Amino acid sequence: MPKYLILALSLFFGFNVLAQKNLAWPVLAMTNYSQDPATGLYSPQFPKILEDQFEGQEVIIAGYLIPVDVEANTYALSKNPFSSCFFCGNAGPETVIELKFSADPGRFATDKYLPIKGTLKLNRNGSGLFFTLENAEISG
């Protein structure tokens, strides 16, 4: 009996270690930022939970796909549809994530709501978006 219990526990914990973490937009919204009046660049101050529990981890988050440059295969994931997203001036920079797909994802319609998984990178240098999902792929 004990060896079956050990096997069951090792399988349970093994799968949990391999699974990606669910990332929610409210966690990203905890990011504060300031804007340099001379350069216009934003300087993010990331919350401890984001740095400690999500940075460098494989995460999954759902949002609206925004094609930034289809020819260059550049996309962003937004908390809001295009008409309300950061690029239109109706939300903050903490509501979008740059996507770096691991393989060509093909073409998508603007505002397609999708779950995306990838490795979360926090951009501290102020150029570009605050968040990037590297090795991104459609999940599910």
Pure H helices in the chain: 2-18, 25-28, 48-53
**Closest C-alpha among 79, 64, 75 to residue 100:** 75
- 3-state DSSP assignment of residue 83: helix
Q: What angle do CA 17, 21, 25 make, to 5 degrees?
A: 170
**What is the per-residue DSSP string for 11-25?**
HHHHHHHHSPEE--H
Structure tokens at 32: 């504060």
Structure tokens at 137: 């792929």
| pLDDT digit string (tens) for the chain, length 140 residues | 444 434 333 334 444 445 679 999 999 999 998 888 988 888 899 999 999 999 999 999 999 988 887 677 788 999 988 665 655 666 778 889 999 988 887 777 778 899 999 999 999 887 788 999 999 999 87
Rg (CA), the chain: 17
Structure tokens at 10: 């090792």
User: pTM of this prediction?
Assistant: 0.78
Q: How confident is the model at residue 10, as a pLDDT?
A: 38
Q: How confident is the model at residue 137, as a pLDDT?
A: 93
Q: How confident is the model at residue 86, as a pLDDT?
A: 59
Cα 53 to chain center, whole Å? 13
